[in-house]
Amino acid sequence: MPIKDIIIAISIPCLWGFGFVIAKPGMEQLPPLLINGLRWWLAGLILVWWFPVPRNLLKEILILSFVACTLQYGLTFSGLNLVEASSAIIIVQFEVPFGVLAAFLILKEKPPLKNLLGLLIAGAGLFILTGAPNLEGQSLGITLLLSGAAVWALGQIIAKSITGKINGIALTAWVGIMSGPQLVLASALIDGNTINYITSANSIAWLIVIYQATLMTALGYSLWYFLLSKYPVNKVMPIHLLLPFTGVLAAVFLLGERPDIKVYFGGIIIIIGVAIILYSKSENRV
């Protein structure tokens, strides 16, 4: 990648990692589906005025919005609500091997041998991580997080087929417009009391929503879709390598979490696995 794209790549996990962690206190007042619905809807409303309706892509974007946002964030943030943020941010790294595997099966992107080795090492790291004491009795949360990671990876395969037809900012805008109402409606059906949640949320919760809408979503996903349009999926996915650094640090300093040593050990092994994928020899653009 040229320097400009490397800077863009590094900025994405910084924006996402911080936003992922601060979502946890936000969910004390707004349920997972609702906080994500508000986040995506607001991001879409901020951006959509600058772009015409992509009439020939509406069906594809609708499918993407359901898979990569409504379904995925419903699973991932419900899992986050049950697991410490510092542990959840590491489990979510399985979006990387899941994405590489999905790209191989669906897009026929054949990963180098190094990538396969990285998948095995990351799997060993997850085995160690899930045995940590502060994850005992949290199998449901872990399952939800892993399911969300797999669904998110599938969503990026869908996005890959769209990014060549529309720029990243416009795609983020229309995904937000479509997924926001889906998530809010799902929250109303599952959680109930939607209006009450919204009106009773304090300023801290709304600041979290605004950060997630503007920086994590509008900016972060626009940059992500930009890179996805230029490079193979198995090259872009390992950008998540930096999420544990930003996420765990934010969880420690902002939330006061103190992860067990096994979390760090398992996390390091996962990072080594995805690092091997990142440093594969495949540098081809698409």
Q: Give residue 225's domain range.
A: 3-278
| Structure token pair of residue 19 | 């936003």
Direct distance between the N- and C-terminal alpha carbons of the chain, in angstroms, rounded to an integer? 12
**Is 110 within the bounds of a domain?**
yes
Q: What is the pLDDT of residues 210-251, one digit of tens each?
A: 999 999 999 999 999 998 888 888 778 777 766 766 766 676
**Is 285 within the bounds of a domain?**
no
Higher per-residue confidence, 280 vs 170: 170
Q: What is the pLDDT of residues 137-190, one digit of tens each?
A: 678 888 898 999 899 889 989 998 898 888 889 999 999 999 999 999 999 998
Higher per-residue confidence, 232 vs 21: 232
| Structure token pair of residue 199 | 């009106």
In whole angstroms, give the CA distance from residue 204 to residue 102. 38
Chain-centroid distance of CA 10 in Å reads: 15
Chain-centroid distance of CA 74 in Å reads: 12
**Is 284 within the bounds of a domain?**
no
Q: How many CA atoms lie within 13 A of 162 on its CB side?
A: 28
**Is 127 within the bounds of a domain?**
yes
Confidence of residue 8 (pLDDT cuts 50, 70, 90): confident
pLDDT of residue 130: 57
Domain count, the chain: 1
Contact between residue 179 and residue 70 where contact means Cβ atoms under 8 Å apart: yes
Per-position b or e across 22-33, b if 16+ CB within 10 A of its CB = bbbebbebbbbb
Helix (H) or strand (E) holding 83: none
Q: What is the pLDDT of residues 54-71, one digit of tens each?
A: 889 999 999 999 998 889
In whole angstroms, give the CA distance from residue 164 to residue 74. 27
Burial class (CB in 10 A: 0-12, 13-18, 19+), 185: middle
In whole angstroms, give the CA distance from residue 43 to residue 65. 13
- Of 32-36, 246-250, 282-286, the least confident: 282-286
The pTM assigned to this predicted structure is 0.79
Per-position b or e across 157-167, b if 16+ CB within 10 A of its CB = bbbbebbeebe
